[in-house]
Each structure stands twice: as structure tokens, then as C-alpha cells.
């Protein structure tokens, strides 16, 4: 122990660590009837860490070329010891991460935690969700199977609708006019280098802001939070979060063992598109909406109009900390509260309806 | 056919008498500056006379610059109808059926002439036609047999590669059926008249019409087109062997070849029938009722013993393929990747197909050699499936152990938190 104490003193003397320890030991998390919502952010972080770990393991064997990508994933799931588990956990964790991120975003939204002074936390969180979806979109193509190939073709095709820059963006994403090996290499680069770098950066800012500003308590729960003893962050909240992470781990293990992620058949660019191409579930509400739109609406191409509407909706969602001026007596505005429920109902409704085959 | 003949007969007019002799081989046709045949006939009220002018626009001869006068003679430059259709200028309004093959052949048998239009077109149609049942009957004076225009049309003739042509693969069956489905007409020639109806039950017709496989055999593939004749007993195997090369090769190695020849049995047809050729079934092999070997063999003879051995070998392969296939499918549903087993099953099925080809040798050892290969492949796939089932059990055990460990950790943490917050 004396050696450890000496080491601590040496480090503290040089880096002034005492204030950090002071901060961490005194940090608390408010306790009220909606405290459960505070765990989603941590759970999303857990899944992200699982992604990093399993992603690095997959990198040891994955080969990002049109000729070898499918075969390398096939090799991973059939020949590499526990390769099937790593690949399956990576795929399931990606989906659970997005699900958890959505839960985190909506819980933050409904508690009005985006309001001043936490605007930047909301904006970095919004960007992180976008990056997570970017991870999903780019990673979907990497096994180079038939479904992912054609889904990427449809997905990237939508980019071409962007006015003025559409053609350029399409070429930039695909590395040419068609989805080819060049697209695969490009998506691999985005997936393992560009997106992780941006995510790490934004995640750092996001977490730092949360630590700096503390957990937000909605006006309606302030009284309750004052009456109840807060939870100490270290070690109580961390241990509680640990239980949630273990639950996440158990879910991942069960899903990977009982529902190993399918590999499908190798992509054949010359084959005709198979029936029932669908993107990942978190893009379904956009995909199905665009499919429902007529070819032309008000003299504008329906798909372009739809994408414009989604872009405008996304912008409103992004700017909600500025647009929502709150109620005179404190608390968030009713309009945005109702809007949040409508958006949630729309996303959940369209996603489930798509799975149920309503749009066939 | 009679319908086509009627079209041909009514094509131009009723005035001129039939002539048996063909016109002389024509010189290269020159497109007339003004073709009075078309301009006049196009305005006629009588549809029988107007129709040929309308059809001319879709006619391959017309497109190549061969005018009505190319076949009918006359003077297309003359504006007066009697001058245009002057018999002294070689005009023939209606061709007698016997004149039609000779008239068409006057160009189509002329290799040097045809070279100008279609360098690769055969020029033996007329000589083939003369050997055909149609040609022979025509020579004997029959007028209700097919001539060129019966199948190709008189006016508006399109190349056989044109999907609208009556001799295009998907249409030629109906073209033949115009006469060959006419029972009364066919009976006059000793033909049943149900051949087309039977053919439509065959795998060949299904391949042609359902899969749009233009290489599937139609009437002309087996009977010949211009030389249409039923294949004789001796030539049936050669006809079928045109496509079914391996089966013919095996049949030639079989004891059946000489036996069938001695019995005057048409080789393939003896087991497969002729027009209503169905999908061959393993269950056909044997001497029991509705089994094909029973036509010549009976229980206890060498043929019946061989048939039983062949049938048994095939049945064991089919059973193995089905059971292993189901096991592999079950494992796949559990999420295992079974590509290697799929390849082995595919190999097994290939060996089974080879065994079904070897049946034509009628030698059990040859069939069993292939079925042994198939059984070895299914056995290998079965081992893969067993290994995958073991892996599934291992994974689920591993999951159970992991979940127990995770659950203990969760409960421990929960108790720890509880004790700290008490």
C-alpha cells in the first residue's frame, strides 16, 4: 500500500489529480421516478465499446475487396475459432446500439433535457446518432452479399436526388457510377477510419459536457428529486449501470447464439435485383415513406420532395433547443412535446408496419 | 392448311387459270418506280383482293425489293389493269397448290440467287420437300397437303426468326395443328390426329411454352421441317440422340440396342412414348403394372432382376438425398452456414443424374457405380450436418453457462448496491 500511495502522490504532484478525484467522488445522479432514463446513454456507450472490440477482431481477417470480402466473412464465421460469435455479436450489437441510442434520444427529448444550457449536448448527441446510422449504412455493405449490395445501390441512389450536388455526391459515395469494389473499399474506409475518428471526438465532447453540466432534472420532477437522496455516481450509479450493461451482454449472447447473423449469398452485380430488398430497420420509416409517395407531387419529383421533407424534419429536430421557447412557468413547450410523440408514433408505426408487410 | 391454301388461292384474283409450270429463275429484282399492283389493290373494296397489298408491307420479299410481279408475273409498271395482269406477260393470278413449291423453289433452290439476300440460307428446301410426306402426297395429286404457303403464309411472309412468323418455335406447333389436329383430315392419311394434343402434355412443350426455351423440340425438330416425315423405327434413337447425346451413347452400349432392333421396337419410344413424353420417373423401372420393363420382361427373368437392382439403387439414393437434405435444412434454420454440405448434396444429385443416364445401359453395375458416389456424397454432407448439430449444442451450452455467470454477476452487483444504499 505504501508503494501505491507513493505512486499516487507522485502522479498527483505532477498532474494535480486531486480535483478530479474530488469531482468524481462528489458527483451525484438525481433520483426520481424517471431516473431509469439515465441508463440509456451508458447502455449505448456499452454497445459502442462492444462494436469497437468486435470490430477490431473482425479486422484481423476481413478483406475489403469485391473478390474477397464475402469469402473472408464466410471464413470468419466457419473457420475462425469463435469467429461466428464475434461477427454475430458485432451485427447484433450494432442494431442494439441504434435502438438504445433512439431510446436515449427520445427519453432526453421528453424530459426536455435539450434546453438551455444543454443545447450543445443535444447537438453532439444528434450528430452521434447520425454517425451511428452512417456506421450501419457503411457496415451493411461490407459482407458484400446480395441484399446488402442491392440495398446500397438503392440507398446511394437516393443521394443522387439532392439538387445540384446529387451527381457528385453519388460518385463520391460509390467511387464511380455504380456500386463496385471501389464502393466497398470506400465504405470500409468510412466504417473503420473516418466514422470512428469523428465518433470518438464527438463522444468525448458529449461525455465531457454531461460531466460538466450534470444530469438534467425536468421541472415537473424537481420537487421529487429534491426530496429524495441522490445516487452517488461512484460507485453506486456505476454499479447500477454495470447491472444494465450485464443485461445488455446477456441479450447479445442470447441473440448471437440463437439467431446467428445471416450471411446470405455473394453479391452478383450482373444479377437482377432480388425481391424484397430492404434497408436496415432504422431506415425503414424513410424507405417506406418514399415508396408511398407518388412519382410527382406539385410538379416536383416525389422522392426528392420526400427527402426534402425528411431533411427539413431533421433540421427542426436538430434545432429544437432553439425553437422550443418553453412555457412561462418553466418546463418545455407543449407543441414540441406533442410533436415528439407524433414523431415517435410515426417511426415506430412505419417500422412495425414494414415488418408486418403492410406496404407490400 | 386449307385456310392457308384459301388465302393463297384468293390472293390475287380469280381470272387467271392455274399453271403447273414454274416461272423461270428470276433475275435480280428491280424495285419498280411505281408498283401498280400495290397501289391498285390497296384501294379495292373486296378484302380478298385488298389484303395481299396490305400484307406486302410486312413481307420479307417486299422489303428486299421483290414485288408482286416477282411471283405473279405481269407488268407492275402498267397503269391499266388488263395490261398489268396480262397472261402474255407471265401473269398468274392464282397458283395451283402443285405449282407453289416449284414457284417458291425457283428462287429458294437457286444458291447463286439466294446468296444475294441471305448468304447462309439453305437452298435444299424444295428437294427436302419432295421427299416429305407432304411432297409425296402432292406429287400423287393430293391438294389438301401442306405446301410452302401453308406454313409460311402466302403474303406477309416473315423470316422464321421473327417471333410473329407462323414457323417461329413457339408458334410452329399451332401452325402444324391447323391440319394435324383435324382428325377427319388426318384419318384420310392414316394418322390419328391426336399427336399435337399428346405433344402438349410433354416436357418438351412445357419447356417451350412455360420456360420459353426456344431450343426445346417442336414438331419439326423430330420430323424435319421441309422434309417432314415420321422417323422410322431405325432412326428414332438418332432423332432423340440429336439432343440426348449421353442417353443415346449409353443405349448403344446396352443389350437393348440389338434386342429392340430384332423386335422392331422404336428405341427410345418403347419406354418414353413419342409425342406425350413425360418427365421420366424412377418408378417406371420394373415389371409390375404400369412399369415399362414389363412390356418385354416378366418377373424372375434376367431383365426383371436387373430392373429391380437398378430401381433399388436409385431409390436408396433418393431416400438418402431427401433425409440428409432435410437434416442440412434443419441445421441451416438454426443459423449454421452449410455451404460445404450444400456442395456435397449438389454433387450427390449430379451423381444421381448420371445414374439415371446410366439406366440406358440397362447394366446394374454401371448404375450402382454412380449411386455409390451419390451415397458417399450424401454421407459426407450428413457428417457435416452432424458436426453442425454438435456445434449448435456446444454454443447453446456455452450460452447457458455465460448467462448463469452474467446472472450471478448481476445479482451480486444488485445486492452490493442495495447494501450500500441501505
Q: Are strands A296-297 and A300-301 parallel, antiparallel or unpaired?
A: antiparallel
Q: What is the ipTM of this complex?
A: 0.81
pLDDT tens readout for residues B331-348: 988 888 898 999 999 999
Rounded Cα distance between A329 and B399, Å, is 53
Residue A68, Cβ neighbours under 10 Å: how many?
Answer: 15
Rounded Cα distance between A152 and A143, Å, is 12
For residue A297, being part of any structural domain is answered with yes
Mean pLDDT by 10 residues, chain B (422 residues): 38 35 48 75 91 91 89 88 90 90 94 90 94 95 94 93 94 95 94 94 96 94 92 85 94 92 88 92 91 90 94 97 96 88 97 96 96 98 96 93 96 92 80
Look up cell 407543441; give the residue: A335
Q: What is the pLDDT of residue B34?
A: 65
Contact between B198 and B275 (Cβ < 8 Å): yes
Question: Is residue A295 predicted with pLDDT exceeding 70?
Answer: yes
Rounded Cα distance between A354 and B209, Å, is 37
Q: What is the mean pLDDT of residues A97-110?
A: 96
- B335 to chain A, closest Cα gap in Å: 5
- B90 to chain A, closest Cα gap in Å: 58
Partner A contacted by B183 (CB < 8 A): no
Rounded Cα distance between B343 and A271, Å, is 21
Q: What is the pLDDT of residue B308?
A: 95
Query: Counting beta carbons within 10 angstroms of the beta carbon of residue B36, is it exposed (0 to 12), middle (13 to 18) or buried (19 or more)?
Result: buried
For residue A209, being part of any structural domain is answered with no
Mutation target among B398, B413, B416 for the A interface, most CBs of A within 10 A: B413
Q: What is the pLDDT of residue B77?
A: 87
CA A232 to chain centre: 28
Of the partner residues B337, B403, B413, the one whose CB lies closest to the CB of residue A254: B403
Q: Which residues contact B113 (CB under 8 A, 6 or more apart)?
A: B25, B26, B28, B107
Given an 8 Å threshold on Cβ–Cβ distance, is A257 in contact with B421? no
Question: Is residue A329 predicted with pLDDT exceeding 80?
Answer: no
Closest residue in chain A to residue B387, using alpha carbons only: A78
Number of structural domains in chain A = 1
Q: What is the pLDDT of residue B8?
A: 39
Asked, as a colleague might, if the bond just before B298 is cis with ω within 30 of 0, I would say no
> How does DSSP assign A174-189, residue by residue?
HTSSS-SHHHHHHHHH
Q: What is the mean pLDDT of residues A219-229?
A: 89
Given an 8 Å threshold on Cβ–Cβ distance, is B335 in contact with A262? yes
Write phi, then psi, for B77 (nearest 5 degrees).
-85, -20
What are the Cα distances from residue A191, in Å, to A96, A123, A144? 18, 22, 14
Rounded Cα distance between B74 and B92, Å, is 8
Given an 8 Å threshold on Cβ–Cβ distance, is A253 in contact with B395? no
Given an 8 Å threshold on Cβ–Cβ distance, is A260 in contact with B336? yes
Task: Tell me the CB-side half-sphere exposure of residue B184, using CA atoms within 13 A.
Answer: 1
Q: Which residues contact B413 (CB under 8 A, 6 or more apart)?
A: A239, A240, A242, A243, A246
Cβ-Cβ contacts under 8 Å, A237 against chain B: none
A267 in helix, strand or coil? coil
- Tell me A237's DSSP state: I
Rounded Cα distance between B105 and B91, Å, is 18
Question: Is residue A326 predicted with pLDDT exceeding 90?
Answer: no
Q: What is the pLDDT of residue A300?
A: 85
Rounded Cα distance between A251 and A46, Å, is 13
Name beta bridge partners: A29. Answer: A231
**Verdict on whether the full-model pTM lies above 0.95:** no
Question: Is residue A331 predicted with pLDDT exceeding 80?
Answer: no
Contact between B84 and B78 (Cβ < 8 Å): yes
What are the Cα distances from residue A99, in Å, to A273, B70, B110? 29, 80, 79
- B381 to chain A, closest Cα gap in Å: 15
The confidence band for A279, taking pLDDT boundaries of 50, 70 and 90, is confident
For residue A177, being part of any structural domain is answered with no
Return the closest-CA partner of residue B157 out of B229, B55, B241.
B55
pLDDT tens readout for residues B129-144: 999 999 999 999 999 9
Contact between A138 and A120 (Cβ < 8 Å): no
Give me the domain span that covers residue A351.
285-360
Residue B339, Cβ neighbours under 10 Å: how many?
Answer: 13
Cβ-Cβ contacts under 8 Å, A243 against chain B: 410, 413-414, 417
Partner A contacted by B405 (CB < 8 A): no
Residue B180, Cβ neighbours under 10 Å: how many?
Answer: 23
Rg (CA), chain B: 34
Helical (H) or strand (E) element with A231: strand A231-232
Q: Are strands A28-29 and A300-301 parallel, antiparallel or unpaired?
A: unpaired
- A88 to chain B, closest Cα gap in Å: 11
In 3-state terms, chain B is what percent helix, strand and coil (to 5)?
60, 0, 40
Contact between A321 and A119 (Cβ < 8 Å): yes
Cell triple for B127: 428437294
Write phi, then psi, for A113 (nearest 5 degrees).
-75, -5
Q: What is the mean pLDDT of residues A63-77?
A: 95
CA A220 to chain centre: 29
Contact between B360 and B247 (Cβ < 8 Å): yes
- B396 to chain A, closest Cα gap in Å: 6
Cβ-Cβ contacts under 8 Å, B421 against chain A: 231, 236
Cell triple for B277: 413424353
Percent of chain A past pLDDT 70, that is, above it, reads: 99
Rounded Cα distance between B72 and B136, Å, is 25
Amino acid at each position: 500500500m505504501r508503494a501505491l500511495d507513493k505512486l499516487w502522490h507522485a502522479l498527483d504532484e505532477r498532474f494535480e489529480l486531486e480535483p478530479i478525484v474530488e469531482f468524481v467522488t462528489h458527483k451525484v445522479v438525481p433520483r426520481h421516478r424517471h431516473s431509469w432514463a439515465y441508463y440509456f446513454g451508458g447502455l449505448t456507450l456499452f454497445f459502442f465499446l462492444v462494436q469497437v472490440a468486435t470490430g477490431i477482431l473482425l479486422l484481423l481477417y476481413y478483406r475489403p475487396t469485391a473478390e474477397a470480402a464475402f469469402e473472408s466473412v464466410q471464413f470468419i464465421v466457419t473457420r475462425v475459432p469463435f469467429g461466428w460469435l464475434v461477427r454475430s455479436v458485432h451485427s447484433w450489437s450494432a442494431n442494439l446500439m441504434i435502438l438504445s441510442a433512439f431510446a436515449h434520444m427520445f427519453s432526453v427529448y421528453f424530459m426536455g433535457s435539450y434546453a438551455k444550457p444543454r443545447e450543445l449536448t443535444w447537438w453532439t448527441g444528434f450528430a452521434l446518432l447520425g454517425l451511428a446510422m452512417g456506421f450501419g449504412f457503411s457496415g451493411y455493405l461490407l459482407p458484400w452479399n446480395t441484399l446488402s449490395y442491392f440495398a446500397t445501390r438503392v440507398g446511394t441512389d437516393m443521394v443522387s436526388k439532392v439538387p445540384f450536388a446529387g451527381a457528385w455526391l453519388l460518385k463520391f459515395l460509390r467511387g464511380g457510377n455504380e456500386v463496385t469494389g471501389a464502393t466497398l473499399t470506400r465504405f470500409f474506409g468510412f466504417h473503420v477510419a473516418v466514422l470512428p475518428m469523428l465518433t470518438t471526438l464527438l463522444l468525448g465532447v458529449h461525455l465531457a459536457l454531461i460531466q460538466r453540466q450534470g444530469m438534467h432534472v425536468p421541472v415537473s420532477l424537481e420537487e421529487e428529486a429534491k426530496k429524495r437522496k441522490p445516487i452517488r455516481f461512484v460507485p453506486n450509479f456505476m454499479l447500477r449501470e454495470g447491472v444494465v450493461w450485464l443485461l445488455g451482454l446477456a441479450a447479445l449472447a442470447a441473440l448471437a447464439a440463437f439467431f446467428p447473423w445471416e450471411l446470405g449469398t455473394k453479391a452478383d452485380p450482373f444479377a437482377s435485383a432480388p425481391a424484397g430488398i430492404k434497408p436496415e430497420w432504422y431506415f425503414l420509416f424513410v424507405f417506406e415513406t418514399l415508396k408511398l409517395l407518388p412519382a410527382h407531387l406539385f410538379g416536383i419529383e416525389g422522392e426528392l420532395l420526400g427527402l426534402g421533407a425528411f431533411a427539413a424534419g431533421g433540421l427542426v429536430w436538430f434545432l429544437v433547443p432553439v425553437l422550443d421557447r418553453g412555457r412561462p412557468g418553466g418546463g418545455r413547450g407543449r407543441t414540441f412535446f406533442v410533436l415528439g410523440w407524433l414523431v415517435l408514433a410515426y417511426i415506430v408505426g412505419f417500422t412495425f408496419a414494414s415488418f408486418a408487410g403492410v406496404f407490400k | 392448311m386449307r385456310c392457308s391454301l384459301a388465302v393463297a388461292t384468293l390472293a390475287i384474283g380469280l381470272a387467271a387459270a392455274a399453271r403447273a409450270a414454274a416461272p423461270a429463275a428470276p433475275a435480280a429484282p428491280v424495285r419498280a418506280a411505281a408498283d401498280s399492283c400495290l397501289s391498285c389493290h390497296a384501294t379495292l373494296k373486296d378484302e380478298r383482293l385488298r389484303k395481299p397489298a396490305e400484307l406486302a408491307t410486312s413481307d420479307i420479299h417486299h422489303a428486299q425489293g421483290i414485288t408482286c410481279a416477282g411471283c405473279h408475273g405481269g407488268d407492275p409498271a402498267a397503269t391499266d389493269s388488263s395490261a398489268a395482269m396480262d397472261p402474255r406477260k407471265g401473269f398468274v393470278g392464282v397458283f395451283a397448290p402443285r405449282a407453289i413449291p416449284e414457284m417458291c423453289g425457283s428462287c429458294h433452290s437457286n444458291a447463286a440467287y439466294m446468296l444475294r439476300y441471305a448468304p447462309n440460307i439453305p437452298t435444299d428446301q424444295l428437294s427436302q420437300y419432295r421427299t416429305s410426306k407432304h411432297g409425296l402426297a402432292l406429287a400423287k395429286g393430293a391438294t389438301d397437303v401442306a405446301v410452302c404457303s401453308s406454313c409460311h403464309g402466302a403474303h406477309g411472309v416473315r423470316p422464321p426468326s421473327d417471333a410473329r412468323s407462323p414457323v417461329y418455335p413457339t408458334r410452329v406447333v399451332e401452325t402444324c395443328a391447323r391440319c394435324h389436329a383435324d382428325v377427319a383430315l388426318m384419318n384420310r392419311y392414316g394418322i390419328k390426329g391426336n399427336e399435337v394434343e399428346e405433344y402438349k402434355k410433354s416436357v418438351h412443350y412445357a419447356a417451350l411454352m412455360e420456360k420459353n426455351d426456344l431450343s426445346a423440340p417442336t414438331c419439326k425438330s423430330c420430323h424435319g421441317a421441309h422434309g417432314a416425315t415420321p422417323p422410322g423405327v431405325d432412326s428414332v434413337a438418332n432423332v432423340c440422340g440429336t439432343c440426348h447425346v449421353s442417353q443415346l451413347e449409353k443405349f448403344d452400349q446396352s443389350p437393348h440396342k440389338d434386342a429392340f432392333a430384332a423386335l422392331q421396337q422404336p428405341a427410345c419410344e418403347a419406354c418414353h412414348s413419342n409425342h406425350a413424353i413425360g418427365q421420366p420417373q424412377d418408378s417406371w423401372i420394373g415389371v409390375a403394372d404400369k412399369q415399362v420393363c414389363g412390356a418385354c420382361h416378366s418377373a424372375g427373368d434376367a431383365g426383371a432382376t436387373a430392373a429391380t437392382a437398378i430401381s433399388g439403387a436409385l431409390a436408396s439414393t433418393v431416400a438418402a438425398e431427401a433425409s440428409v437434405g432435410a437434416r442440412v435444412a434443419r441445421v441451416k434454420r438454426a443459423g449454421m452456414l452449410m455451404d460445404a454440405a450444400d456442395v456435397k448434396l449438389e454433387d450427390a444429385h449430379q451423381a444421381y443424374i448420371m445414374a439415371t443416364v446410366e439406366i440406358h445401359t440397362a447394366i446394374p453395375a454401371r448404375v450402382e457405380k454412380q449411386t455409390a458416389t451419390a451415397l458417399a456424397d450424401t454421407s459426407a454432407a450428413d457428417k457435416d450436418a452432424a458436426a453442425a448439430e454438435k456445434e449448435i449444442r456446444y454454443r447453446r451450452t456455452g450460452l447457458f453457462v455465460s448467462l448463469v455467470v452474467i446472472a450471478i454477476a448481476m445479482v451480486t452487483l444488485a445486492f452490493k448496491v442495495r447494501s450500500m444504499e441501505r
